[in-house]
């Protein structure tokens, strides 16, 4: 099976190397020459974006839905160039509405589609231990099962095209909320004289635990490592997508709206590790951005 990986950032690059280690024929590409050169130095075969070879699977790891649409419909022209029957797998965190429209166009062009957003960060991509949420046809999943098993410790089929991205947005909303609520819980305990580590041990033995309390706080926050590989800007983008998806469905979700606002008024720059959103709660003397308008930050 030949795989072309489009987007060689921390996630795409590591997934490409993992697939190569698993025995697949892998070619990578990226619009940034620096990314291509970096992966070439690590032994990956790379090509320019306008010279994509024929493949069985085209795996996309891109920042936004706009980038995914561009690769499929214009710049790389997968709709025109990809061999009939090949599979486009979008591992990006994308807009579900855009994904469903793209899936229709992909199928009409004689190709197959699978949205497969991932969690687990660069480390999970490098070790083949990602979590994947799949939206698409069961027959397509069966075709690419060897690829999924090489990349993921677990993958879950959640519905038709676009469903993977819906659930991924719901997941990231919960993660964003848990970072805020867990930080506040620890701040409460600390003010009462309980050490953060002791508080976490207690939370993780009870019903208030989450991946944030079990992983993020000990690994990246209390350690001051802040090197998860996922940025504040990307989380803000995902939260806006979740908010817009709710609005499109006629849902008024007050807590989601407040979480979006809180993330956009936090002082952390978009380039910062996303776990830095807890800084102002843990260290309340640090400044926050004045919430003039949400659109100013967007």
Q: How far is 274 from 174, CA to CA, in rounded Å? A: 14
Q: How far is 110 from 235, CA to CA, in rounded Å? A: 34
Q: How far is 121 from 287, CA to CA, in rounded Å? A: 29
Q: How far is 54 from 273, CA to CA, in rounded Å? A: 37
DSSP helix/strand/coil, 208: coil
Dig out the tokens for 42 from the structure.
């690590």
The yes-or-no answer on residue 237 being catalytic is no
Q: How far is 78 from 160, CA to CA, in rounded Å? A: 21
C-alpha distances (whole Å) from 210 to each of 104, 132, 177, 178, 255 are 36, 18, 11, 7, 18
**Other beta carbons within 10 Å of 18:** 21
Catalytic residue (one of 168, 219, 237, 297): 168
Count Cα neighbours of 52 within 13 Å in the Cβ-side half-sphere.
Answer: 30
**Which residues are known catalytic residues?**
168
């Amino acid at each position: 099976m030949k795989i072309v990986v489009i987007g060689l950032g921390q996630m795409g690059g590591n997934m490409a190397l993992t697939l190569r280690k698993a025995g697949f024929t892998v070619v990578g590409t990226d619009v940034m020459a620096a990314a291509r050169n970096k992966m070439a130095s690590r032994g990956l075969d790379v090509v320019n974006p306008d010279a994509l070879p024929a493949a069985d699977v085209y795996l996309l790891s891109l920042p936004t839905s706009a980038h995914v649409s561009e690769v499929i419909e214009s710049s790389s022209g997968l709709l025109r160039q990809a061999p009939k029957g090949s599979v486009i797998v979008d591992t990006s965190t994308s807009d579900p509405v855009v994904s469903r429209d793209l899936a229709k166009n992909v199928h009409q062009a004689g190709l197959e589609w699978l949205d497969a957003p991932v969690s687990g960060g660069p480390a999970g991509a490098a070790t083949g231990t990602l979590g994947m949420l799949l939206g698409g046809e069961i027959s397509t999943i069966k075709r690419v099962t060897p690829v999924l098993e090489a990349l993921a410790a677990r993958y879950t089929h959640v519905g038709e095209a676009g469903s993977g991205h819906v659930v991924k947005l719901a997941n990231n909303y919960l993660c964003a909320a848990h970072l805020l609520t867990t930080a506040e819980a620890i701040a409460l305990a600390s003010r009462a004289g309980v050490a953060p580590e002791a508080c976490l041990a207690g939370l993780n033995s009870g019903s208030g635990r989450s991946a944030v309390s079990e992983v993020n706080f000990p690994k990246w926050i209390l350690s001051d490592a802040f090197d998860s590989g996922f940025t504040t800007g990307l989380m803000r983008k995902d939260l806006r997508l979740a908010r817009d998806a709710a609005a499109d469905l006629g849902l008024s979700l007050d807590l989601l709206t407040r979480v979006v606002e809180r993330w956009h008024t936090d002082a952390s720059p978009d380039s910062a590790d996303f776990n830095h959103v807890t800084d102002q709660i843990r260290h309340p003397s640090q400044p926050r951005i004045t919430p003039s308008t949400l659109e100013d930050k967007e």
